[in-house]
Structure 1
Amino acid sequence: MEQLKYRSVFDIIGPIMVGPSSSHTAGAARIGKVVRRIFGMLPDTVDIYLYESFAKTYRGHGTDIALVGGLLGMEPDDPRLADSLKIAHESGMEVGFIPKKEKAEHPNMVQLRVSKGAHKLTVTGISIGGGNIQISEVNGFKLSLSLGTPTFIIVHQDVPGMIAKVTQLFSEAEVNIGTMTVTRESKGEKAIMIIETDERQDSFLEKIKQIDSVYSASYFG
């Protein structure tokens, strides 16, 4: 028998939120907000690919308004969530929902493709229950992020010395790195660095962004 592990009672009963289901609403809003944080700006165009349970019930369970609300920077309990589609339209954001028939790695899986001018980002997320999420892919890079610990996500060019420059800033701030993963498209191309830390400290995030060949840097504490 499969055993499920929970970090707190809120993993079971779910968080305070707008909507009927923590998986379909709170989790979806958090996925949307993670995408917004990584992208770093309000996108002009958003294509949302929904799978399995999400594809079948995204309108009735409020998954659509939750995802868009997250992209607008809203929390799951934000009362404006119900009007997120209208707010997005008024903000000039074009949103398309594409239900998919294919099987997915999880019934509550969604892929968001956002763009603004030449800037593009693709993120695949899973709502695993109780408002908790996992990010399984960013721009084609396979990941397994729960964001349950302080996490830095850095998108950069694969150039010599990049890891040393980034980790030097952690050392100067006396922040201990628990785990670190670096994945690249190919030699010299775009890469992504995932760093999980012991301390909740992001005072040097702006310094990371200023490093040459860093495209974006996000912190989730």
Structure 2
Amino acid sequence: MNDTADQPQLNFQEASFLLSAAKLSQLPKDEGFEVAFIGRSNAGKSSALNELTHQKQLARVSKTPGRTQLINVFCIDDEHRLIDLPGYGYAKVPTEIKREWHPLINQYLRDRHSLHGLILLMDIRHPMKTMDEQMLDWSAAIPLPVHILLTKCDKLTRNHGMQALHHVQKALKVYPDYFTVQLFSAMNHIGVDELKRTIHHWKYFAYDKKDNDTQQDH
């Protein structure tokens, strides 16, 4: 991964809630830099966002997985945003919401020009479920860089955590080399620096979805 240490760093602690959108037309103007977070409804997405920004309540941690089916937008500054996409895979989400979810997310991932990468969260104890693999397939077809967080790694021993990491690394061999994975625990503050480095890499060495060329982002 290219070194971004000499580049201006994003101040994630400055992130603040901007809006919730039920459709793409309600999102901010499609310019600047966005990174989206997505995963199964119990993968720890809100906790990861709170850990990244060092804000305990930036993203509300719901006791009912799958409750929020809106796109939540958080602004770091005028040009940089974190996007909290609806969680998937929770049985109690109404069928009509599930039907709307697929086209909304697919359209966002495919058409959003300011989207530079997708953070895909998986519970380390249950990685690479069917919807996770579908998300990888969608992203590869766009193409869109993906960085996987194997969340809740504190729930496993170090050896079992490394085994899970190697399992996912092996599964990623059939995908583009800009698909990466790491261990993460919001509870034990594991992996946040690596996550920040990945986001900065996407900012300064953006993968262009239009022409598949790696280019410097100015």
TM-score range, shorter chain: under 0.3
Please give the TM-score of this superposition, normalised by the length of structure 1. Answer: 0.26
* Larger fraction in helix: 2
* Larger fraction in strand: 1
For the pair shown, the structure with the greater C-alpha radius of gyration is 1
